[in-house]
Amino acid sequence: MVDTRDSFSLRGRKVVGGFAEGEAMVTSQTISGWGGINERNGSIIERRHELVGQSFAGKILIFPGAKGSSGWSAFFHMTRINNVAPAAMLFTRMTTKIALGAVVTRVPAMTDFDGDILTQIRTGDHVVVNANTGFIEVTRR
């Protein structure tokens, strides 16, 4: 149920277990791995993307899903190695590409929410992700 005042919770399905919390970074656009992100600093480099120039490092990345080639998982894996991976990934479209990317990135990841994460959560909101229990808590900033 959505609390329209200060905070609300959503239930989703675990893809990769774990716990994380941090600032939300929300985009309505899919993200390309190969050619779309800089794996050295965790920034979006795809020129036509609404988040171009912004870094997802340490943030709760909320997005529809992956696009592009199977290289997607390799580039997100490199963000983990370079310590610039997102703290967690919440997405709406499950594909084998994003599932593998979530596993190799080794951050909590969830999908199949009981609400629209792309419209209900705003960039800057504080999000607590407990993928083990299948709940996220959102506090407005």
Residue in this structure with the two tokens 């390799």, named with its chain if needed: 74
pTM above 0.85, yes or no: yes
3-class DSSP state for residue 69? coil
With the CA atoms of 101, 138, 27 and 116 taken in that order, what torsion angle do they form, in degrees rounded to the nearest 10?
A: 90
Dist. CA 28–CA 44, nearest whole Å? 14
Provide the pLDDT for residue 35: 85
One-letter-per-residue 3-state SS of 19-68:
EEEEEEEECCCCEECCCCEECCCCEECCCCCCCCCCECCCCEEEECCEEC
Provide the pLDDT for residue 110: 98
Percent of the chain with pLDDT over 90: 88
Provide the pLDDT for residue 114: 97
pLDDT exceeds 80 at position 20: yes
- Structural domains in the chain, CATH included, are 7-139 (3.50.30.10)
Provide the pLDDT for residue 118: 97
Report the catalytic residues.
69
φ and ψ of 74, to 5 deg: -65, -40
Provide the pLDDT for residue 2: 45
28: exposed, middle or buried (Cβ count in 10 Å: 0-12, 13-18, 19+): exposed
Provide the pLDDT for residue 5: 56
The pLDDT confidence band at residue 70, using thresholds 50, 70 and 90, is: confident
97-126 pLDDT, tens digit per residue, is: 999 999 999 999 999 999 999 999 999 999
In this structure, what token pair is assigned to residue 16? 């990769």
In this structure, what token pair is assigned to residue 129? 């992700």
pLDDT exceeds 90 at position 9: yes
